[in-house]
Every structure is written in C-alpha cells, then in structure tokens.
Amino acid sequence: MLSNFDALDPRDRVIVAIDCGREEALELARKLQGKARWLKVGMTLYYAEGPSIVKAFKDLGFKVFLDLKFYDIPHQVEGAAYASALTGADMLTMHASGSIAMMQAGQRGAQRAADELGAPVPATLGITVLTSMDDAALAEIGVGRSCAEQVPLLAANAKAAGISGVVCSPQEASMMRELLGPAGYVVTPGVRPAGADKGDQSRVATPAQAFAAGSSHIVVGRPITQAPDPAAAFQAIIAELEQ
Ligand code: C5P
C-alpha cells in the first residue's frame, strides 16, 4: 500500500538515533547540520541531559524524535506529553499496552502544548511489543497470546486512540501500513545499509526495503554515528534511496 509519506524528500524520512553523551551528541549534530533533518533522543541521553538537549538540537535546526516511551496513569502521561511537546519535540512515543485511555491522554497533552506554542502537534507513536520481548516474555507477564497476535491488537488500539502511528520492526511494517492506512506513521529501527555491520540488531532490513514495506520513517543509529564521516554515511543512504 502506498503511503502519504512516499512523496517526501528522503531526508525527511531518515531519523538519526543519537545514543551517546552530551558532548559527543552535540558534535555529531554539528557534523550532520544542514544534511540530516531528524535526530532521535532516547532515554539515556534525555535522562542525563533533560529538555536542554532537545532545545539544543532544535536550535541547530533539527526536528527531534523524543523516544521516552511513556507508560503511566493517563493523567501522568498527559503531563509528560505536554511537557515533552513544550520542549519543541516533533515526535513522541508511548506504550500502546498502557491502554487506549492512556494514549488518548498523551494525545491531549501533546495537542495542548501545540496549541499554546501555536506549533503543529507532534506525531504520537505507540510502542506495541518491545522487540526485545518474545512469546515467552509475554507469557511471563501474563499475556497468553503470541507476539504475532499481540502486535496487531495493540496497533489497532493505537489507531482507535487516534494517535499518529506506531514504532515497529521492518518485518512488521507492511502489516502496520495495511492496518493504519496511508496516513499512519510507521517508524522502523533495525535498519542497516547493505553491507553495514548489524551490531546487536538481529532482524534487519536495508533503508530501501524498509520503505518498500511501508515505513513512513526509518531510524538509523550506529551505521551513521559510528562512521568515520557521519555526514557522508548519511548522504550515502540518501543517495541509495534517491536511485
Ligand atoms: O544504532 P542502531 O541503528 O541500532 O539504533 C537504533 C535505534 O532505534 C536505537 O536508538 C534503539 O534504541 C532504537 N530501537 C531499536 N529497536 C526497537 C526500538 C527502538 O533499535 N525495537
């Protein structure tokens, strides 16, 4: 299925995951400035540096995917989404397993901040089943269903809650695209350019494969951030996608 994102410039669809400390993060951001357009801030960097790292990236002209995976009572998630959106973050995550009511609260918080800022509302993404979990891990927490059953159930709940889309592996992207329709965000990590080191990722796809499967955006970290020339590594991915 085609998506509303297919016409975008590939630079608007490749998100660079910055998983390191502040100084290295800022150095990477400066190297990628004017080339990459999206950076991802995860828990490690955020809990060390707080909202100032998001603001620093925004000041350098980047869009920021703030991946904090909210999971709490709806009132708290509404507040977390509100505060995160006030930093200027352009994309937020929450666990779909926290309930439809919790996701709706997150959406409300993001919307309230956007209204106050007079800015577009950040994209809100649901995490279905963490890719680090398997059927045995679901059974351990009392979920008597397989990952293959649980992932689409939670994605359908994300859709019912009215959030923007999901984070998923490239292997799940086409199913998510069908489920969410052309406007849904389908954001996929686990992407490796052909020939790149897989690192600790097991099930990987190339950028072109991930987009062909229906991803709206891909998240690529170490193949860019640990390259001798991160800007050139980013540019090589874009060139491959533009072919
Ligand atoms: O360096 P690499 O390209 O593997 O980075 C992928 C990024 O996507 C990391 O920030 C990682 O935390 C994140 N991620 C992932 N797999 C998931 C969810 C998030 O690799 N299922």
Please say whether the beta carbons of 238 and 14 come within 8 A.
Answer: yes
Site to substitute for ligand 1 among 219, 226, 234, most atoms within 8 A of C-beta: 219
Tens digits of residue pLDDT in 173-227: 999 999 999 999 999 999 999 888 888 887 789 999 999 999 999 999 999 999 9
Residue 169 Cα to ligand 1 midpoint, Å, equals 10
Residue 179 Cα to ligand 1 midpoint, Å, equals 23
Q: What is the pTM of this model?
A: 0.96
Question: For 46-71, what is the mean pLDDT?
Answer: 98
Residue 131, pLDDT > 90, answer: no
Residue 65's nearest CA partner among 133, 128, 115, 16 is: 16
Residue 221 Cα to ligand 1 midpoint, Å, equals 7
Q: Residue 77: beta bridge partners?
A: none
Q: Length of the chain in residues, anyone? A: 243
138-142, 160-164, 174-178, 191-195: lowest mean pLDDT where? 191-195
203 burial (CB, 10 Å; 0-12 / 13-18 / 19+) is exposed
Which residue bears the tokens 């800007």? 231
Residues catalogued as catalytic? 69
Residue 24, pLDDT > 80, answer: yes
pLDDT at 238: 98
pLDDT at 123: 98
Please say whether the beta carbons of 123 and 98 come within 8 A.
Answer: no
Among protein residues, the one whose CA lies closest to atom 16 of ligand 1: 189
Among protein residues, the one whose CA lies closest to atom 14 of ligand 1: 189
List ligand 1's pocket residues with C-beta within 6 A: 17, 19, 40, 42, 131, 167, 189-190, 199, 201, 219-222
Residue 56 Cα to ligand 1 midpoint, Å, equals 22
pLDDT at 152: 97
Q: What are phi and psi of 2, to 5 degrees?
A: -70, 155
